[in-house]
Amino acid sequence: MIPLIQLDRQFQSIKKEIMNAFERVVDSGHYILGNEGAALEQELAHFLGVAHPVAVANGTDALVLALRALEIGPGDEVITTPFTFFATAEAIARVGATPVFSDIEAGTYNLDPALLEEKITSKTKAIIPVHLFGKPCAMKEINEIAKRHQLYVIEDACQAFGADIGGKRVGTFGDIGCFSFFPTKNLGTLGDGGLVVTADETLAKRIRKLRHHGSTAKYYHDEIGYNSRLDEIHAAILRVALKKIDLWNEQRRKKAAVYAKAFQHSTVGVPMEEKEQTHIYHLYNIEVEHQAELSETLAQQQIASGVYYPLPLHLQDVFAGLGYKKGDFPVAEQTSERLLAIPMHPFLTSSEQEKVIAAILAFEQRKGGSRI
Ligand SMILES: *Cc1c(COP(=O)(O)O)cnc(C)c1O
C-alpha cells in the first residue's frame, strides 16, 4: 500500500537524535515546563520571526487560548471558513462565541476576502483565516478588512508550519497565530502538541497564564484557565524535527511540482501556486469529477487517497442550531465533492509517485471529460 503519509519513515530518519533527546529529558528530572520547552520556544521565535511563542498542549487549545486571551466569548461572533478541520469552529463554540461562516475562494480553498465584509455585524470580534492544506491565505486583504472594522485576526496555521508570504512566515500576520504539532502535521511530534504565537507581550503573558490554570504564582489563581502545557518530551522531539522542517517542506514542494507537471495536460486539476507565496503542501489535493470512483480505483491498486473534507462545517449536525442550509456556501460545498488527497510526504519515493500518477492518468483517460 502507498499511504497518504508515512510517519515511520519520517521519524526513522531522525530516530537517533530523538532517542538522545528522550534520554536527555528522562535524565533531567523535569517533565513539564522545563528547559526543553523554553529552548523550543526560543528556537521557534527565531524560525518564525515572532517575539512571543507559547507552546501548548495541542492546536485546538491554541485556538481556544487565543480566543480567551482576546476576551472573546458569549455574545461574540467570529468569522471563519466552513471548509476546514472541525477544530477551528469547535474552538469558537467552546469559548461560548458563535462561528459565522463565510465561503471560500475556488482554487485557493481559503476564505474569500471579497465575501468577508457582508458577514460583519456589531457582534463580530475576530476573523480566523485557515491556511488550508499549507496554502497561505490572502493575509493582506484580510488584515485590511479587519483593520477597517477593528477586528482581531487569529490565524489558524495548524496545516501550514513554515509556509510564507514574501518571506514572512504565516502565523505572524495576525494578532495571534495558532499551530498544531499533531503527528501528521508538517511539523509533528510523537503525540499531541500546539503553539500560540504573538508579537504582543501582554497577550503572550495572558496565554502563558491561561495554559497553566490561570496562575502566575504557584497555587495562586486569578482566573479559570486550562491544563494546556506542552510536555518536555514533546518539546525535545520537536527541537529535533524543527531542524528538518525547511528541508521536509522543500521535499514536499518538489513532489508537488512533479505531480503538477504530470497532470498538466490532463483533466486533473492541481493546487494553485501563487507568486510571493510558499505553499508547503500539508496535503496534496487534486480536483476531479469522479471523486469516489477514483478513490476506489486507487484503493484497488494499493494507493491510498482521502477526502478532506467530505462535509463542510455549516452542514454538520452539531451546528444545525446556527441555521445554515445546503446551498449557503456553494464553493465550499462543490469543493468538498471534488477534492481528493493523494500521497504526499517528504519521504515519498519517485517510483511510488510514478505509480500514483500512472493510476490517476489511466483513470482520467478512461473517463474522458474536461478539466475542472
Ligand atoms: C489539526 C488542526 C487543528 C487542531 O489541531 P490539534 O493539534 O489536532 O488539536 C486545528 N485547525 C486545523 C486547520 C487543523 O488542521
Encode pLDDT of 112-163 as tens digits: 999 999 999 999 999 999 999 999 999 999 999 999 999 999 999 999 999 9
Cα 212 to middle of ligand 1, angstroms:
21
Q: Report how far ligand 1's centroid is from the alpha carbon of 180 (Å).
A: 6
Closest CA to 57 of 310, 216, 234, 299: 234
Task: Specify whether 197 is located in the same domain as 264.
Answer: no
Instruction: Give me the residues paired with residue 231 across strands.
Output: 32
CATH number of the domain residue 122 falls in: 3.40.640.10
pTM: 0.98
Q: Tally the domains of the chain.
A: 2
CA of 82 to the centre of ligand 1 (A): 14
Residue 1 lies in a domain: no
Interval 234-280: pLDDT, tens: 999 999 999 999 999 999 999 999 999 999 999 999 999 999 999 99
- Cα–Cα distance between 49 and 70 in angstroms, integer? 22
- Among 158, 178, 181, 195, say which to mutate for ligand 1: greatest number of ligand atoms within 8 Å of CB: 158
Whose CA is closest to 13, among 228, 244, 225? Answer: 244
Q: Are residues 273 and 228 in the same domain?
A: no
DSSP 18: H
Indicate whether 37 and 59 sit together in one domain.
Answer: yes
Quick one: 238 and 268 in the same domain? no
Which among 300, 336, 331, 322 is positioned nearest to 114, based on CA atoms?
331
Name the pLDDT band for 371 (thresholds 50, 70, 90): low
Last residue of one domain, picked from the residues 224, 242, 260: 242
Question: Is 2 inside a domain boundary?
Answer: no
Closest Cα partner for 342 from 307, 300, 296? 307
Pull the grid cell for residue 238: 520537536
Q: Say how far residue 369 (Cα) sits from the centre of its chain.
A: 33
Same domain, 134 and 276: no
Q: Are residues 166 and 308 in the same domain?
A: no
Can you tell me the distance from the alpha carbon of 44 to that of 62, in angstroms, rounded to the nearest whole number?
A: 15
46: domain range? 8-102+110-242
